[in-house]
Amino acid sequence: MHDVQNVGEKEAVVVCPVDPFVDDAYFSMLEKVGKQAEKGESNLVLLGIEPTYPSEKYGYIIPSDGNSVSKVSTFKEKPDAATAETYISSGALWNAGVFAFRLGYLLETAHRLIDFTDYHDLFAKYETLNKISFDYAVVEKESEIQVMRYEGTWKDLGTWNTLCESLSEPVVGLGEMDDSCTDVQIINELDIPILAMGLHDVIICASAEGVLVSDKERSSQIKQYVESFKQPIMFAEKSWGSFRILDIGKESLTIKAILQAGGQMHYHSHRQRDEVWTIIGGRGIVVLDGERRAVKASDVISIKRGVKHTIIAETELTLIEVQHGIDISVEDKEKFSLT
Residue 170 one-letter amino acid: P
Residue 45 has pLDDT above 80, yes or no: yes
Query: Are 265 and 213 found together in one domain?
Result: no
Query: Are 317 and 191 found together in one domain?
Result: no
Does any domain span residue 54?
yes
Query: Are 215 and 97 found together in one domain?
Result: no
Residue 9: per-residue pLDDT: 59
Query: Are 35 and 140 found together in one domain?
Result: yes
Does any domain span residue 4?
no
User: Mean of the pLDDT values across residues 293-297?
Assistant: 97
Residue 294: per-residue pLDDT: 98
Query: Are 51 and 174 found together in one domain?
Result: no
Least confident of 35-39, 77-81, 114-118, 266-270: 77-81
Q: Is the dihedral of CA 172, 173, 179, 185 positive or negative?
A: negative
Last residue of some domain: 169, 202, 226? 226
User: Mean of the pLDDT values across residues 309-318?
Assistant: 98
Query: Which domain covers residue 123, as residue numbers?
Result: 12-150
Query: Are 16 and 132 found together in one domain?
Result: yes
Does any domain span residue 7?
no
Residue 2: per-residue pLDDT: 42
255: β partners = 245, 321
Give the whole-angstrom CA distance, residue 296 versus residue 294.
7
Does any domain span residue 155?
no
**HSE-up of 272 (CA within 13 Å, CB side)?**
12
User: Mean of the pLDDT values across residues 93-109?
Assistant: 91
Cβ distance 78 to 132 under 8 Å? no
Does any domain span residue 72?
yes
User: Mean of the pLDDT values across residues 327-338?
Assistant: 90
Report residue 5's pLDDT band, with 50, 70 and 90 as the boundaries. Answer: very low
Query: Are 23 and 51 found together in one domain?
Result: yes
Does any domain span residue 299?
yes
For 232-281, the pLDDT digits (tens) are: 778 888 999 999 999 999 999 999 999 999 999 999 999 999 999 999 99
Residue 11: per-residue pLDDT: 67
pTM above 0.85, yes or no: no
**Based on the structure, what is the number of domains in the chain?**
3
Residue 7 has pLDDT above 80, yes or no: no
Last residue of some domain: 150, 181, 197? 150
Does any domain span residue 1?
no
Query: Are 25 and 46 found together in one domain?
Result: yes
SS (H, E, C) the chain: CCCCCCCCCCCEEEECCCCCCCCHHHHHHHHHHHHHHHCCCCCEEEEEECCCCCCCCCEEEEECCCCCEEEEEEEEECCCHHHHHHHHHCCCEEEEEEEEEEHHHHHHHHHHHCCCCCHHHHHHCHHHCCCCCHHHHCHHHCCCEEEEEECCCCCCCCCHHHHHHHCCCCEECCEEECCCCEEEEEEECCCCCEEECCCEEEEEEEECCEEEEEEHHHHHHCHHHHCCCCCCCCEEECCCEEEEEEEECCCEEEEEEEECCCCECCEEECCCCEEEEEEEECEEEEEECCEEEEEECCCEEEECCCCCEEEEECCCEEEEEEEECCCCCCCCCEEECCC
Residue 21: per-residue pLDDT: 55
Last residue of some domain: 226, 250, 279? 226
Report residue 1's pLDDT band, with 50, 70 and 90 as the boundaries. Answer: very low
Query: Are 126 and 95 found together in one domain?
Result: yes
Query: φ, ψ for residue 166 (rounded to 5)?
Result: -100, -5
For 199-224, the pLDDT digits (tens) are: 999 999 998 888 999 998 788 778 77
Residue 296: per-residue pLDDT: 97
269: β partners = 334
Cβ distance 279 to 321 under 8 Å? no
User: Mean of the pLDDT values across residues 117-138?
Assistant: 87
Residue 241, domain CATH: 2.60.120.10
Query: Are 94 and 48 found together in one domain?
Result: yes
Question: What angle (nearest 5°) sits at the alpha carbon of residue 65, between those of residues 59 and 69?
Answer: 75
Does any domain span residue 69?
yes
Report residue 151's pLDDT band, with 50, 70 and 90 as the boundaries. Answer: confident
Query: Are 24 and 144 found together in one domain?
Result: yes
φ/ψ region of 289 (left if φ > 0, alpha if ψ in -120 to 50, else beta) reads left
User: Mean of the pLDDT values across residues 117-131?
Assistant: 87
- Closest residue by Cα to residue 214 from 238, 183, 179: 183
Residue 18, domain CATH: 3.90.550.10
First to last CA, the chain: 32
Query: Are 145 and 185 found together in one domain?
Result: no
Residue 181 has pLDDT above 50, yes or no: yes
Q: State the chain's mean pLDDT as an integer.
A: 88
Give the whole-angstrom CA distance, residue 272 versus residue 332.
7
